[in-house]
């Protein structure tokens, strides 16, 4: 199994449930993370995002003031903050397809249904660190490429329509948190 040097990564956990924040903090510390910041709602999360400039954001969907989806859309506004490219992991107790699609379309990097496991969280973070997806900018979307498997010959119903898309390669977080093999 590949391991990540978590000591070099800064995390922001945003969840209105203090118990869930404690679980995530404990897991991240168990993985080796030293910098884990917390916020209890979307507004405090956006403020903490601006203040701490995390490498990875883990947010709940359902929160007061504004939810994780709205938070993601605010973070993904190019020019509105320090790092619109930050990887975002969305947590929710609701895993219906419409929620997964809404998260993806808002610019979420990874999606996790609660209850979470240490292994699933680690795998999401490993994927973010080792295999960053390029970012896409169109007239209506800015965020990680929603396609996980690139097939230029795809002609199905999910084929991207519309104008030209700018593709921006991401610098892997590997440069910051090397993978230990």
Is the confidence at residue 29, as pLDDT, over 80?
Answer: yes
80 vs 11, more confident: 11
Q: What is the CATH number of the domain that holds 25?
A: 3.40.50.2300
The pLDDT value recorded for residue 48 is 96
The pLDDT value recorded for residue 81 is 80
When divided into structural domains, the chain yields a total of: 1
In a domain, 125, yes or no: yes
Q: Can you give the residue range of the structural domain that contains 117?
A: 3-148+163-180
The pLDDT value recorded for residue 150 is 58
Query: What's the CA gap between 114 and 180, in Å, rounded?
Result: 28
In a domain, 172, yes or no: yes
Poorest-pLDDT segment among 6-10, 72-76, 135-139: 135-139
HEC per residue, the chain: CCEECHHHCEEEEECCCHHHHHHHHHHHHHHCCCEEEEECCHHHHHHHHHHHCCCEEEEECCCCCCCHHHHHHHHCCCCCCCCCCCCEEEEECCCCHHHHHHHHHHCCCEEEECCCCHHHHHHHHHHHHHCCCCEEECCCCEEECCCCCCCCCCCCCCCCCCCCCEEECCCCHHHCCCEEC
What is the rounded average pLDDT of the residues 9-35? 97
How many residues are given for the chain? 181
Query: Using an 8 Å Cβ cutoff, are 110 and 87 in contact?
Result: yes
Read off the pLDDT of residues 150-181 as tens digits, 9 standing for 90 and up.
565 656 665 555 556 666 666 666 555 555 55
Read off the pLDDT of residues 105-153 as tens digits, 9 standing for 90 and up.
999 999 999 999 999 999 999 999 988 888 888 888 888 987 665 565 6
Poorest-pLDDT segment among 5-14, 46-55, 139-148, 149-158: 149-158
pLDDT above 90 covers what percent of the chain? 59
In a domain, 68, yes or no: yes
For 23, 71, 82, 115, the CA distances from 98, given in Å and listed in that order, are 27, 18, 30, 19
In terms of Cα–Cα distance, which of 5, 101, 112, 100 is closest to 57?
Answer: 112
In terms of Cα–Cα distance, which of 76, 30, 26, 25 is closest to 49?
Answer: 76
89 vs 152, more confident: 89
In a domain, 153, yes or no: no
In a domain, 158, yes or no: no
Poorest-pLDDT segment among 24-28, 38-42, 78-82, 98-102: 78-82
The pLDDT value recorded for residue 134 is 87
In a domain, 65, yes or no: yes
In a domain, 156, yes or no: no
In a domain, 31, yes or no: yes
């Amino acid at each position: 199994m590949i391991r990540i040097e978590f000591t070099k990564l800064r995390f922001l956990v945003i969840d209105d449930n203090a118990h869930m924040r404690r679980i995530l903090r404990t897991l991240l510390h168990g993985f080796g993370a030293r910098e884990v910041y917390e916020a209890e709602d979307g507004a405090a999360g956006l403020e903490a995002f601006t203040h701490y400039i995390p490498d990875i954001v883990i947010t709940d969907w359902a929160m007061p003031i504004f939810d994780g989806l709205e938070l993601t859309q605010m973070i993904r506004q190019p020019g509105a903050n320090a790092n619109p490219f930050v990887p975002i992991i969305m947590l929710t107790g609701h895993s219906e397809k419409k929620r997964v699609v809404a998260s993806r379309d808002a610019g979420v990097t990874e999606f996790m249904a609660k209850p979470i496991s240490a292994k699933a969280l680690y795998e999401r973070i490993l994927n973010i660190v080792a295999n960053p997806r390029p970012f896409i900018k169109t007239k209506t979307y800015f965020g990680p490429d929603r396609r996980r498997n690139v097939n230029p010959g795809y002609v199905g119903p999910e084929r991207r329509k519309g104008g030209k898309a700018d593709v921006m390669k991401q610098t892997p977080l590997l440069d910051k948190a090397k993978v230990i093999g």
